[in-house]
Every structure is written in structure tokens, then in C-alpha cells.
Amino acid sequence: MLQVWGKTPLAGQVKISGAKNSALVIMAGALLCPQDCRLRNLPAVADVAKMGELLSALGLELRRQDDVLEIDARHVSRSQAPYELVSRMRASFFIIGPLLARMG
């Protein structure tokens, strides 16, 4: 609960975006989806964009509009992630399990 004290009453709405760390794990898990996967309420942060680049480099198709990301993993074409992308993000290790399960 958030409590605010002051002389002027506050009014309005605040939109809370999803958690970055959860979003990265779920994006990696999309490697296992046999059809389009739609993720909503993703935060617009650099790590989410980097994970998108990494998934694209593996052959996944990504389409983003506002806070919705559609991932099509039907045509994964690579089993090895490019070092230049992996080295920029610690969370890239989240793709190891799904990629191994998918590609063998």
C-alpha cells in the first residue's frame, strides 16, 4: 500500500508495466511455443529489447506494438546464439534450457 500525506488531494491513474526479470524468462520460454505467443504488459527497457534481438538472431519473428510482443518461434534457424549479443546481457543464459529442449 502506498500512502501519501499532503495538503493537496491527488487524483489520476498510473499504469504499471510488467517486471523486467519475469519478461526475460517468459520471452526465452517462447522458444518452446509451437505457435504464436503473445506477451502483454512488457516493460520498455533495454534488456527486453536486447532479448528480442537475441531471439531474432536465432530465427524467431518478433512483432511489437505498444506493450504487446508477438513471438513466432515456428522457424528457429540457429542453435547457437551470437557471442556479440550474449556478451551484452547476463540474462541471455535463460535461452539455454529452451534452446536445448527445442534443438536437442
Q: What CATH code is carried by the domain that includes residue 87?
A: 3.65.10.10
Q: pLDDT value at position 100?
A: 92
What local confidence, expressed as pLDDT, does residue 40 receive?
Answer: 93
Q: Establish if 98 belongs to a structural domain.
A: yes
Which residue range(s) make up the domain with 98? 20-103
62 in Cβ contact with 52 (< 8 Å): yes
46 part of a folded domain: yes
- Whether residue 1 is predicted with pLDDT greater than 80 in this model: the reply is no
- Tell me the mean pLDDT in the region 82-89: 91
Q: Which residues of 16-31 are buried (b: 16+ CB within 10 A; e: fewer)?
A: eeeebeebbebbbbbb
What pLDDT was estimated at residue 3?
78
Half-sphere exposure of 90 (CA within 13 A, CB side): 2
- Report which residue type is found at 49: A
- Give the CA-trace dihedral at 82, 87, 89, 92, to 10 degrees: 50
Phi and psi dihedrals of 56, rounded to 5? -60, -40
* Average confidence (pLDDT) over 86-98: 92
- Give the number of domains in the chain: 1
